[in-house]
């Protein structure tokens, strides 16, 4: 047994030495592979002129919506001449009320006016005759004064009767509701046969059919918007509707810290009031820090980039701004000059080793053959 053990001992030592050499080679290969990492391209954070803007959402609303009603109570609606969505002109009859009692009152007032006018005419004639008699001293001065007083009283009764007639005419006119301006009927809240009350809303009119877009903006964005800025909305069909900022609220709400932007839509292109749309307000050009669009990825729902530091990709969340011509504004989260991953960022995780390579230029187009298919030869 001792002889066999002595014969196998050198052989075992040789095997262990060979195995040790092989392990060192594998460890070096593994380390080399770990150091190499994923091949990526990078670009620095630079400052450049960018078309700046603010993106917001808000409803499309009428610029001025008029609530229409009548000034009479207890009368029945006899006809409604318009429906929702119908265009009307100023002065068009929208609805009428049962005005039979009003017409009777008007006729009575007109008769009273005619009676008063007749009395005034008689009083003027009596005064004229009295003045002629007084010149010949056929009547006393006191009698002449009575004739003058009778004429004054008769003319006063005419004024009272005329005012009563005008009031009756006005009440009769109230029984007909007319459009106060050009526009579009946006709501109809009454039906024929309904008994209405004074001041109740019966119809709703969008004056001149004008619409606007109202968006709530945070205080930090509200100061960048000015009247006259261009607004572009996207409707549900993907079409663009262009407007202009008409006004910006001078202050912000103390609770929500937001203010309102009002944008006119001169050509609403079929937009309906109440539609909630996203829009972009162009606020001009600004020199801001930017990165290529390809560098920005979403991680946990937040825009992020990967910054290369000593061969390792470090994830950094950013505050994203406007996008223009392939670049994204970086409002916060990065320092100017930082190298961000532009190609391969979507496959990285925080702490991954990376290997920065140069981006390959696009291949040049192949040389076209000659028209007859033969290559040119040197004479």
As a whole number of angstroms, the distance between CA 280 and CA 268 comes to 16
So where are the chain's domains?
49-62+210-356, 64-98+175-209, 99-174
H helix intervals, 136-264: 141-174, 219-222
As a whole number of angstroms, the distance between CA 328 and CA 339 comes to 15
Sign of torsion over alpha carbons 243, 245, 246, 247: positive
Q: Answer with the residue of higher pLDDT: 294 or 379.
A: 294
Instruction: Answer yes or no: are the C-beta atoms of 45 and 289 closer than 8 Å.
Output: yes
Instruction: Answer yes or no: are the C-beta atoms of 262 and 245 closer than 8 Å.
Output: yes
The yes-or-no verdict on residue 247 having pLDDT over 90 is yes
CATH 1.10.287.470 at 99-174, yes or no: yes
DSSP SS3 for 112: helix
- For the domain made up of 64-98+175-209, give the CATH fold: OB fold (Dihydrolipoamide Acetyltransferase, E2P) (2.40.50)
Instruction: Answer yes or no: are the C-beta atoms of 162 and 115 closer than 8 Å.
Output: no
Q: Answer with the residue of higher pLDDT: 1 or 165.
A: 165
Question: Each residue of 120-178: pLDDT tens digit?
Answer: 999 999 999 999 998 888 888 899 999 999 999 999 999 999 999 999 999 999 999 99
Q: What is the mean pLDDT of the chain?
A: 84
Q: Sorting pLDDT into bands at 50, 70 and 90, what band is 6? A: very low
Q: Which residue has the tokens 């009777």?
A: 104
Instruction: Answer yes or no: are the C-beta atoms of 76 and 98 closer than 8 Å.
Output: yes
Average pLDDT over residues 336-355: 89
CATH 3.20.190.10 at 49-62+210-356, yes or no: no
Domains 49-62+210-356 and 99-174 share a fold: no
């Amino acid at each position: 047994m001792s002889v066999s053990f002595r014969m196998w001992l050198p052989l075992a030592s040789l095997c262990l030495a060979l195995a040790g050499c092989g392990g060192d080679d594998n460890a070096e290969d593994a380390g080399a592979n770990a150091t190499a990492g994923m091949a990526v391209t990078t670009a620095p954070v630079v400052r450049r002129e960018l078309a700046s803007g603010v993106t917001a959402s808000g409803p499309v609303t009428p610029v001025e919506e008029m609530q229409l009603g009548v000034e009479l109570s207890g009368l029945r609606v006899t006809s409604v001449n318009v429906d929702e969505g119908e265009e009307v002109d100023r002065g068009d009859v929208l609805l009428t009320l049962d005005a039979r009692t009003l017409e009777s009152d008007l006729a009575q007032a007109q008769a009273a006016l005619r009676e008063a006018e007749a009395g005034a005419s008689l009083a003027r004639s009596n005064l004229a005759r009295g003045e002629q008699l007084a010149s010949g001293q056929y009547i006393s001065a006191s009698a002449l004064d009575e004739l003058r007083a009778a004429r004054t009283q008769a003319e006063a009764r005419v004024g009272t009767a005329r005012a009563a007639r005008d009031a009756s005419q006005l009440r009769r006119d109230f029984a007909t509701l007319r459009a106060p301006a050009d526009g579009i009927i946006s709501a109809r809240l009454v039906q024929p046969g309904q008994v209405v009350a004074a001041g109740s809303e019966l119809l709703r009119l969008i004056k001149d059919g004008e619409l606007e877009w109202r968006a709530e903006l945070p205080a930090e964005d509200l100061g960048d918007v000015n009247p006259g800025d261009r607004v572009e909305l996207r409707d549900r069909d993907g079409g663009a509707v262009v407007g202009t900022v008409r006004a910006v609220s001078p202050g912000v709400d103390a609770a929500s810290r937001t203010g309102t932007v009002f944008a006119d839509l001169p050509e609403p292109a079929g937009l309906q009031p109440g539609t909630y749309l996203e829009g972009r307000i162009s606020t001009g050009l600004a020199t801001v820090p930017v990165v290529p669009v390809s560098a920005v990825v979403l991680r946990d729902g937040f825009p992020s980039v990967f910054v290369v530091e000593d061969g390792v990709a470090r994830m950094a969340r950013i505050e994203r701004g406007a996008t223009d011509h392939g670049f994204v504004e970086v409002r916060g989260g990065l320092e100017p000059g930082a190298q961000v991953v532009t190609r391969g960022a979507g496959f990285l995780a925080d702490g991954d080793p990376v290997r920065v390579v140069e981006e390959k230029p696009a291949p040049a187009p192949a040389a076209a053959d000659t028209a007859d298919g033969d290559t040119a030869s040197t004479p």
